């Protein structure tokens, strides 16, 4: 037995890229991407990806080079999930909501060689480029528009762009022999979790991990063949939780929306007969708080939502409209959803309160994760399965990231020799093996589907000279899910006391808008433990009680404005 | 980038065994196995597997030891797919249709430490044991009956049995810390492809390969959660093509049948509301040639069939009854189905003849296979995609076996340095990328779902002194799919010429009954090429024309008798 070793025929690297050619063979005539007036088939997508990959190679992109893209959910963003790594590159998807300073930090940290820029984001990117240090190598800029027909009407007003995406398609070679990974541990994507501090976390996933995430996502959600998948989840969020590659595996149609509100999504669902969509909790809110009643759907639309479990009223409204809602938990570090609230049919017979209690739990590990546990942070031993004892959630499995780019210390801190990946999130294990998150030790606030590190917001607040102490916590919000709420105390002896507006203006100048505290509370002193640590759990309780009258409407307006602001 | 290496948290070995504990958590109250009056839940199955694994450890089974089972599709056969490897052992499933001599060869070759024996097969096994060389170590024998209640009524009439399966369950430890693989390349199963020659092929699969096969099988067949899966495919055939482990991944109910005919299967489908089943082509025949009309099904029953594509009339009959039939191709060496005939919806609009032509093709690679090609055996270059040029089918992917046990030469012959696994089967590639098998260079005859090596049958025929030349080919058969047909010439100067019956009797004494030629044709001389090689393709043409009048009924009787003979 021991003499049987891996051989080239069975140890060929696992990679989601191998799914594309297969999709072109089986689903060649089926729609792959639908966007505005454009419909591509899987034959087109295969052809276009090979052409882009070959053009990247022609431009000098080599194995392991970082290629970035900053774009909303348009065809090019989808295609690059295959095309960029098919050239041997590592794809780096940049969040379009970041500010120029953060983008420049990411470009510098990733040493990106080439950046695909959506035309409406070019002012943002050019500003980011201007913030790069003088002698830092510049990435080549490639202009991307909505689709191939747009380019004729579009004259870039800048010489900064080397070429356009469609030129790369046109000049590319559809017979290109794409660069297969040498090892399944070769990086395939680089996703930044956040970036306003001086040490951004660049999560690197490998081909093997992304393949496992893809298969896992499909089996855990029971995705059938030829689904119609609506993109509201940004592809730059963990590569759409693996469903970018996943749609090639099952021959799905990717319905792309650049920007949307509830009415747009309802219209798209009906126009394309959408069957599946992933969505931040805020999108569920949009779908269920329309001013005009869209009427019930005549077929089930499956929605997978992440972050916090949807509140019971939202869930009920969504289900009454014909949505089948699942929810899960994942981190950028895990590639996609790795804990999902697998619902048991007999739970439907329980009273509403009990159902809500069960639904509030994140759930059980998906198939791609090998082990999960909750450990006592001091002893390192599993906590008892009593639904009460809090410990740190730890994971082990093939979908866990390779590590943080250029951060061996950060990597070994969360992936040490004990073989666990430490999430930093706190939770309890219920008697039945279902897990529930109780607190995030990393102090993450999830607002409108974006993760906000409270520490990062605090760092910016501390640059406001009048402030003495600051603490940022999540404030529950009917629309956004959560918003950052700042508690601050002022320095002694100030001549002029700043207003809430002053503090907010200060933040808006220094960070992406979605991270700015929506509320600033002035205190004489912040509550602290005997060892001087700010008692955030007390502040969270206060934040919950703060008035949110009139917020819903304001929020709706802000949401639409914010999502649309750059597009 | 290059500094990011695999770490214990993300390189934890892939294994299908991790699916069982998860099934117990999510599907604990759902049925896992249904057999006669017994219904287990996934909680039971988890508990029972841990107990069996702990008892195996107590009996001295260690990492890498081979543990065998010879049993029909009963609960124990299912459980052992988890329980045996959870003790660190390698599971070896023995085909119950083999003869004592072959079984003794397998026990010797595998060095099996322990053999679970279904009670009705104990005479067969004891005879096989008596054929082991005097000083060869004997495997421990453990008696298995239909279910736990049977044991009370059952007194083994032999002291050969060390204990019973249910004793091992009763005395086992449900808190056993199961033995996780040290490496994902550790062996998990040993499956023999055939065994009548002196060099049986022991196919070894590893944990990683079986995990990939399992996920692949689920995605490729779009298996939803909580399917009701009927076992007609023997679990000893490539571990039920991965669906043994697969059912734990999706919380399926395993409906076990020990023996069956068409009526039994129809009854089981209705009694349990079966949704999925894998089946040899012969089972499709059984289902569609009942004497009494079972009436159409009121829900779709998905059937996956392997080997040769089902003939058009059988397919039409099956579909009219409510079956949704898919077919694929796989080898013991590939773990499960790795080419499947992915059907395109618009093909339904084609005329019947064209549909039959498309359906006769084996299809395209499944997701778990990374690459497939058809190579010119001389140049090693891919053949042109013209649907005409024949070459050898070669594969590359994570589901390919580790290798053949104790056969480095055989292993490197089919898994060489070119990185391909060579199937030995010949096929053509159509323009659209669909593959069609044209001939099996290994000369396999598939009869009633069992693979028969024509070379092995020929070797036995050559031990009949009166025969001069022999050649065995497949003869198409309405019921069995194919049967072995022998063409023979006699030695010169024989005083007494043997009859067809004499030859068949000779074979029946020396090989499993299913391998015995159903027809023997005497020729003065067999057709040969200029270099003296027997022209089998000419004999195949002759075999096709041989009368099969009256065969159907005879075959039906024989089939029931043969499947039931030992049970």
Question: Higher-confidence residue: B159 or B128?
Answer: B128
Q: What is the pTM of this model?
A: 0.86
Chain A residue numbers with beta carbons less than 8 Å from the beta carbon of B4 are 185, 187, 204, 206, 402-403, 405, 411
Nearest CB partner across the interface for B64, out of A1, A8, A22: A1
For residues A285-300, give the mean pLDDT.
86
Residue A557: is it exposed, middle or buried by C-beta count within 10 angstroms (0-12/13-18/19+)? exposed
Name the token pair of B445. Answer: 């005859």
Chain A residue numbers with beta carbons less than 8 Å from the beta carbon of B402 are 4-6, 10
Other beta carbons within 10 angstroms of residue A137's beta carbon come to 10
CATH number of this structure's domain A42-205: 3.40.50.12780
For B258-268, the pLDDT digits (tens) are 988 999 999 99
pLDDT recorded at residue B562: 37
Residue to test with chain A: of B4, B5, B10, B42, most A Cβ within 10 A: B10
**What does the alpha-carbon distance between residue A392 and residue A424 come to, in Å, rounded to a whole number?**
6
CATH number of this structure's domain A369-442: 2.30.38.10
Question: Which residues, in sequence order, are bridge partners of residue A324?
Answer: A302
Whether the predicted pLDDT of A515 surpasses 60: yes
Name the closest residue on chain A to residue B210, using Cα atoms: A10
Whether the predicted pLDDT of B58 surpasses 90: yes
Other beta carbons within 10 angstroms of residue A417's beta carbon come to 9
Among A461, A455, A489, residue whose Cα is nearest residue A473: A455
Cβ contact B3–A419 (<8 Å)? no
Size of interface A-B (CB pairs under 8 A): 175
Fold of the CATH domain A445-564 = GMP Synthetase; Chain A, domain 3 (3.30.300)
Chain B residue numbers with beta carbons less than 8 Å from the beta carbon of A420 are 9
Question: Is the Cβ–Cβ distance between A404 and A204 less than 8 Å?
Answer: yes
The complex's ipTM works out to: 0.86
Domain boundaries, chain A: 42-205, 369-442, 445-564
Q: Distance, in angstroms, between B334 CA and closest chain A CA?
A: 10
Cβ contact A396–B64 (<8 Å)? no
Among B490, B512, B508, B509, residue whose Cα is nearest residue B499: B490
Other beta carbons within 10 angstroms of residue A357's beta carbon come to 15
Fold of the CATH domain B444-564 = GMP Synthetase; Chain A, domain 3 (3.30.300)
Chain B residue numbers with beta carbons less than 8 Å from the beta carbon of A4 are 185, 187, 204, 206, 402-403, 405, 411
Q: Distance, in angstroms, between B217 CA and closest chain A CA?
A: 10
DSSP one-letter string for A295-359: ---SS-EEEEE-SSPPPHHHHHHHHHHTEEEEEEEE-GGGSSEEEE-PPPGGGGGS-HHHHHHHH
Q: Distance, in angstroms, between A24 CA and closest chain B CA?
A: 9
**Mean pLDDT across chain B:** 89
Cβ contact A22–B185 (<8 Å)? no
Q: Distance, in angstroms, between A451 CA and closest chain B CA?
A: 23
User: What is the Cβ-side half-sphere exposure of residue A169, based on CA atoms within 13 angstroms?
Assistant: 20
Among A517, A499, A500, residue whose Cα is nearest residue A508: A517
Fold of the CATH domain B37-174+185-195 = Rossmann fold (3.40.50)
Fold of the CATH domain B368-442 = Luciferase; domain 3 (2.30.38)
Nearest CB partner across the interface for A370, out of B1, B18, B397: B18
Cβ contact A364–B408 (<8 Å)? no
- Residue A293's alpha-carbon distances to A45, A313, A321, in angstroms, are 37, 17, 10
Cβ contact B6–A402 (<8 Å)? yes
Nearest CB partner across the interface for A12, out of B4, B13, B370: B370
Cβ contact B12–A401 (<8 Å)? no
Nearest CB partner across the interface for B9, out of A1, A29, A420: A420
Cβ contact A25–B433 (<8 Å)? yes
- pLDDT class for A152, splitting at 50, 70, 90? low
Name the closest residue on chain A to residue B216, using Cα atoms: A215
pLDDT recorded at residue B497: 92
Residue to test with chain B: of A2, A3, A8, A10, most B Cβ within 10 A: A10
Of B108-117, B363-372, B386-395, the least confident: B386-395
- pLDDT class for A143, splitting at 50, 70, 90? very high
Q: Distance, in angstroms, between B306 CA and closest chain A CA?
A: 19
In chain B, pLDDT over 90 holds for what percent of residues? Answer: 64
Chain B residue numbers with beta carbons less than 8 Å from the beta carbon of A250 are 219, 222
- pLDDT class for A552, splitting at 50, 70, 90? very low
pLDDT recorded at residue A561: 33
Whether the predicted pLDDT of A171 surpasses 90: yes
Whether the predicted pLDDT of A557 surpasses 70: no
Cβ contact A402–B10 (<8 Å)? yes
Q: Distance, in angstroms, between B288 CA and closest chain A CA?
A: 27
pLDDT recorded at residue B532: 62
Name the closest residue on chain B to residue A414, using Cα atoms: B9
Q: Distance, in angstroms, between A146 CA and closest chain B CA?
A: 30
Chain A residue numbers with beta carbons less than 8 Å from the beta carbon of B19 are 367
């Amino acid at each position: 037995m021991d003499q049987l070793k891996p051989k080239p025929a069975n140890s060929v690297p696992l990679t989601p890229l191998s799914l594309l050619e297969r999709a072109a063979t089986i689903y060649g005539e089926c729609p792959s991407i639908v966007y505005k007036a454009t419909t591509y088939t899987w034959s087109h997508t295969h052809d276009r990806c090979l052409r882009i990959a070959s053009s990247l190679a022609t431009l000098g992109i080599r194995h392991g080079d970082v290629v970035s893209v900053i774009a909303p959910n348009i065809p090019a963003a989808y295609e690059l999930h295959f095309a960029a790594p098919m050239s041997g590159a590592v794809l780096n998807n940049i969040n379009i909501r970041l500010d120029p300073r953060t983008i420049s930090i990411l470009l510098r940290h990733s040493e990106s060689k080439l950046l695909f820029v959506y035309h409406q984001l070019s002012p943002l990117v050019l500003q980011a480029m201007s913030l790069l240090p003088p002698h830092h190598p510049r990435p080549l800029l490639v202009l991307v528009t909505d689709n191939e027909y747009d380019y004729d009407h579009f004259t870039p007003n800048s010489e900064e762009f080397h070429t356009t995406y469609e030129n790369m398609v046109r000049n590319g070679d559809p017979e290109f022999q794409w660069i297969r990974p040498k090892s399944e541990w070769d990086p395939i994507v680089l996703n930044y979790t956040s970036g306003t501090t001086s040490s951004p976390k660049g999560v690197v996933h490998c081909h093997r991990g992304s393949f496992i995430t893809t298969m896992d996502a499909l089996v855990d959600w029971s995705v059938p063949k030829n689904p119609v998948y609506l993109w509201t989840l940004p592809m730059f969020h963990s590569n759409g939780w693996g469903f970018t590659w996943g749609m090639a595996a099952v021959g799905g149609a990717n319905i792309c929306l650049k920007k949307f509100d509830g009415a747009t999504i309802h219209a798209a669902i009906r126009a394309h007969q959408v069957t599946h969509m992933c969505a931040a909790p805020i999108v569920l809110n949009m779908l269920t708080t329309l001013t005009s009643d869209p009427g019930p759907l005549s077929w089930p639309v499956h929605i997978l939502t992440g972050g916090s479990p949807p509140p019971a009223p939202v869930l009920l409204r969504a289900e009454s409209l014909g949505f089948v809602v699942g929810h899960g938990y994942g981190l950028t570090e895990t590639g996609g959803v790795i804990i999902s609230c697998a619902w048991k049919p007999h739970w439907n017979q329980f009273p509403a309160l009990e159902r809500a209690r069960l639904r509030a739990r994140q759930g059980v590990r998906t198939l791609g994760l090998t082990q999960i546990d909750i450990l006592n942070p001091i002893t390192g031993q599993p906590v008892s399965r009593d639904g009460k004892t809090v410990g740190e959630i730890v994971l082990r499995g093939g979908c866990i990231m390779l590590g943080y780019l250029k951060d061996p210390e950060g990597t070994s801190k969360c992936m040490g020799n004990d073989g666990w990946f430490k999430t930093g999130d706190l939770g309890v294990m219920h008697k039945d093996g279902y897990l529930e998150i109780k607190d995030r030790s990393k102090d993450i606030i999830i607002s409108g589907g974006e993760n906000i590190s409270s520490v990062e917001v605090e760092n910016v607040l501390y640059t406001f000279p009048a402030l003495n102490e600051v603490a940022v916590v999540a404030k529950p919000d009917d629309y956004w899910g959560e918003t950052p709420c700042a508690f601050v105390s002022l320095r002694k002896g100030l001549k002029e006391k700043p207003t809430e507006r002053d503090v907010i203006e200060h933040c808006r100048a220094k960070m992406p808008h979605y991270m700015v505290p929506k509320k600033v509370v002035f205190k004489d002193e912040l509550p602290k433990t005997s060892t001087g640590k700010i008692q955030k759990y007390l502040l969270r309780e206060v934040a919950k009680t703060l008035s949110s009258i009139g917020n819903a409407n304001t929020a709706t307006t802000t949401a639409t404005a914010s999502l649309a602001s750059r597009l």
